[in-house]
């Protein structure tokens, strides 16, 4: 089990954040020799060397242990002074062994993912807690299990120090076990990478992001409008688990240099939002800062550029950048503007955090500059952290892909292998399916139309006709197809039969055809219409093309049990947020401010700085990326999205 710990030298007082392996297979605390020397720790010589032995009683190749260091160690709120023996741990830095586990006997609740220090000896100190009932949220400290620790040929020494200080394992020799485990990690990463790109395996490795990016020409500037005044903020209350997560966030980022203590007159609020996997993501409420920031209009990728460049291409590769905005430094002297306040103090970021209004423009500028030569050659396009490579023949494709990987490696940018696709003849990019001389809408985009439920009442038929009437100019023979449904809205009464069902299915099919769904173009304002009902949300994205509002895509979403309990205004906002996430690439690159129509009037002022509940606070940083106007449209006039949510 990997955990995040904080260690402090007793002589220097310098504190560092570091990964540690918490494992009962190691019966004492160890620190890697090279790491201890690199950090200039106060290393002391043991009175007598310790012989390290493997499970088969052979002496370990790492040799005898001859030195140790005393450190102040903190895990969550738990803090104590501990002795660490120096030995070779490869890329692993610290092992916390069985002697520590037996001494403190922490209670681990695997279902709740927490570890409680309730049975510690009296000498232990709990920072911020008067009693020893301190709890660590395991989600807050456990690192990914697939974190690569070793280079090829290195090994982790899983030790078991008995009274005679032998090295023993219950099943296999320690080094062999560790070597095989690390080789398996490498094989798993390499297994996702084609053989021809295996030399760039490090570009795909999920390295620990514990370093500060270099200063570069693309550092993120925060330019304030004339007359802007510094603003302060309140401190959001945190739950117990959030408090632990905050402490871990501060420790890790202070140690890596990505944040530092601040004396800024400006302060934005800090809080957490839950990610899809249930873990917590730290965010800053930069609404007030964004209101006074001059917008950077650096252009994102235009659809016309994509269409023009792809002509004749037969092979496609898509790459996804890891760590996103954190790869970019904030311009020197502007850090104070992005300061954030916590109940632990005021801090300012040295890297670009999510939620700053010009982050997409800055990141796009950096990626365009790094890959400019290949972009100009007409074989690469970039949209933020998504890179698309396309060529007519396979040999050229592999040559250019290697050049891209070389540039990413040079600039210390890493990729997510699980989100990369190589040498495809058809690929999804920016919401469209791209192939040889073809581009079509992703079928997923029209799923909301095809899954509309069959009407059960006259009112539902009226709503459906209200939606389809909007698109009648695109549907040949619309009036004739819709006639059985139109009759139902008269005085004849309800009589749903084969003709009505055929009309309903026929209109859905015609609306969802490619001839009706237009491909987005570079010019023309977008309009997003969203709605929510008791059980679902729905939305339609349209664009003004030649004076006509043409549908680009539809979506619908069945509410979860938790979402069904939302207040109606939060359901409406959920519909909007799901839509923005679905069509992010199109709306971020819009050349005009787009409009969002909703039938709940209370949402019109949501984006302005004001008091929000916790649920609404989860969405504010995502809204900061977009340039839009929120407009109220009564439900009776919002048929298109309304039907999608029914």
- In this structure, what CATH number is given to the domain that contains residue 69? 2.40.70.10
302-331: pLDDT as tens digits: 665 666 677 778 999 999 998 888 899 999
pLDDT tens-digit readout, 55-76: 455 555 566 788 899 998 888 7
Please say which residue of 408, 440, 472 terminates a domain: 440
Q: 319 and 420 in contact (C-beta within 8 Å)?
A: yes
Residue 631: Cβ-neighbour burial (10 angstroms; 0-12, 13-18, 19+): middle
Using the predicted structure, report yes or no on whether residue 369 has a pLDDT greater than 90. yes
Are residues 451 and 430 part of one domain?
no
How much is the mean pLDDT over the chain?
Answer: 77
H/E run at residue 188: helix 174-190
Domain assignment present for 208: no
Could you tell me if 104 and 122 lie in one domain? Answer: yes
pLDDT of residue 142: 33
Q: In a 10 Å sphere around its CB, with 0-12 CB exposed, 13-18 middle and 19+ buried, how is residue 26 labelled?
A: buried
Give me the CATH number covering residue 505. Answer: 3.30.70.270
H/E element holding 347?
strand 345-349
Give the best-scoring range by mean pLDDT among 141-155, 183-197, 600-614. Answer: 183-197
The domain tally of the chain equals: 4
pLDDT at 54 over 70: no
- Give the number of other Cβ atoms within 10 Å of residue 134's Cβ: 24
Task: State how far the Cα of 472 lies from the Cα of 284, in Å rounded to an integer.
Answer: 45
Same structural domain for residues 495 and 559? no
Indicate whether 40 belongs to any domain.
yes
Q: Are residues 570 and 534 in the same domain?
A: yes
Same domain, 74 and 42: yes
8 A C-beta contact, residue 603 and residue 630: yes
The reply to whether 91 falls in a domain is yes
Chain centroid, CA 262 distance in Å = 26
In terms of domains, do 472 and 431 share one? no
The residue ranking higher by pLDDT, 81 or 153, is: 81
Let me know whether 386 and 465 are in one domain: no
CA torsion through residues 302, 308, 311, 317, sign: negative
Phi, psi of 18 (to 5 degrees): -155, 150
Q: Express each pLDDT in 237-264 by its tens digit.
A: 888 888 989 999 998 888 888 999 999 9
Kindly state whether residues 576 and 620 are assigned to the same domain. Answer: yes
Does residue 408 form part of some domain?
yes
Whether 339 and 431 map to the same domain: the answer is yes
Structure tokens at 65: 């242990």
| Other Cβ atoms closer than 10 A to 427 | 18
**Is 231 exposed, middle or buried (CB count within 10 Å of its CB: 0-12, 13-18, 19+)?**
middle
DSSP string, 41-65: ---EEEEEEE--B-TTSPBPTT--E
Q: Please report whether residue 517 resides in a domain.
A: no
Domain residues for the domain of 273 are 240-440
Top mean-pLDDT range of 45-54, 303-312, 565-574: 565-574
Give the residue among 147, 146, 140 at the shortest CA–CA distance from 5.
140
Q: Which helix (H) or strand (E) holds 206?
A: none
């Amino acid at each position: 089990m990997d955990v995040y710990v904080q260690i402090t030298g007793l002589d220097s007082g310098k504190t560092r954040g570091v990964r540690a392996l918490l494992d009962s297979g190691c019966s004492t605390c160890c620190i890697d020799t090279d790491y201890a020397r690199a950090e200039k720790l106060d290393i002391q010589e043991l009175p007598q060397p310790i012989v390290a032995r493997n499970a088969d009683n052979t002496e370990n190749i790492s040799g005898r242990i001859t030195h140790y260091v005393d450190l102040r160690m903190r895990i969550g709120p738990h803090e104590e002074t501990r002795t660490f023996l120096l030995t070779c741990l490869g890329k692993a830095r610290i092992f916390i062994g069985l002697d520590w586990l037996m001494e403190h006997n922490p209670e681990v609740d695997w279902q709740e993912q927490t570890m409680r220090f309730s049975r510690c000896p009296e000498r232990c100190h709990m920072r911020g807690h008067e009693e020893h009932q301190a709890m660590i949220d395991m989600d807050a400290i456990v690192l990914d299990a697939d974190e690569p620790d070793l280079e090829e040929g290195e090994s982790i020494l899983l030790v078991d120090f008995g009274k005679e200080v032998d090295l023993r394992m219950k099943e296999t020799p320690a080094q062999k076990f560790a070597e095989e485990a690390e080789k398996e990690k490498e094989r798993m990463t390499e297994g996702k990478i084609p053989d021809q790109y295996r030399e760039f395996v490090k570009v795909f490795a999920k390295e620990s992001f514990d370093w500060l990016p270099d200063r570069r020409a693309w550092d993120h500037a925060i330019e304030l409008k004339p007359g802007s005044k510094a603003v302060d903020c309140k401190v959001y209350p945190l739950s117990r688990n959030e408090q632990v997560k905050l402490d871990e966030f501060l420790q890790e980022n202070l140690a890596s240099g990505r944040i530092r203590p601040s004396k800024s007159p400006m302060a934005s609020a800090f809080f957490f939002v839950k990610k899809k996997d249930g873990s917590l993501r730290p965010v800053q409420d930069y609404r007030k800062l964004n209101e006074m920031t001059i917008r950077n209009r650096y252009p994102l990728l235009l659809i016309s550029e994509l269409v023009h460049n792809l002509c004749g291409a037969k092979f496609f590769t898509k790459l996804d950048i890891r760590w996103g905005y954190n790869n970019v430094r904030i311009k020197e002297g502007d850090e104070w503007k992005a300061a954030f306040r916590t109940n632990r103090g005021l801090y300012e970021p040295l890297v670009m955090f999510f939620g700053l209004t010009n982050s997409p423009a800055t990141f796009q500028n950096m990626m365009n500059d790094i890959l400019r030569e290949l972009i100009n050659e007409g074989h690469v396009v970039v949209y933020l952290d998504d890179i698309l490579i396309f060529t007519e023949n396979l040999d050229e494709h592999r040559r250019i892909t290697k050049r891209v990987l070389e540039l990413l490696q040079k600039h210390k940018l890493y990729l997510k292998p699980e989100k990369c696709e190589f040498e495809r003849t058809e690929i999804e990019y920016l919401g469209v399916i791209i192939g040889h001389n073809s581009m079509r809408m992703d079928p997923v985009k029209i799923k909301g139309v095809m899954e509309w439920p069959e009407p059960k009442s006259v009112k539902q038929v009226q709503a459906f006709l209200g939606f389809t009437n909007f698109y009648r100019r695109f549907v040949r023979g619309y009036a004739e197809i819709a006639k059985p449904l139109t009759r139902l809205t008269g005085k004849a009464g309800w009589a749903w039969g084969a003709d009505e069902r055929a009309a309903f299915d026929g209109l859905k099919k015609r609306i969802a055809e490619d001839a009706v769904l237009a491909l987005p173009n570079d010019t023309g304002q977008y309009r997003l219409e969203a709605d929510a009902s008791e059980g679902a949300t729905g939305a339609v994205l349209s664009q003004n093309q030649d004076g006509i509002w043409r549908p680009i895509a539809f979506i619908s979403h069945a509410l979860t049990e938790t979402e069904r309990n939302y207040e109606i205004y939060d359901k409406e906002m959920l519909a909007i947020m799901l839509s923005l996430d679905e069509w992010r690439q199109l709306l971020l690159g819009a050349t005009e401010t787009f409009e969002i129509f909703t039938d709940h009037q209370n949402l019109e002022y949501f984006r302005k700085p004001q008091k929000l509940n916790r649920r609404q606070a989860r969405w504010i940083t995502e809204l900061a990326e977009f340039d839009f106007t929120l407009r109220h449209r009564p439900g009776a006039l919002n048929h298109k999205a309304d039907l999608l949510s029914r």
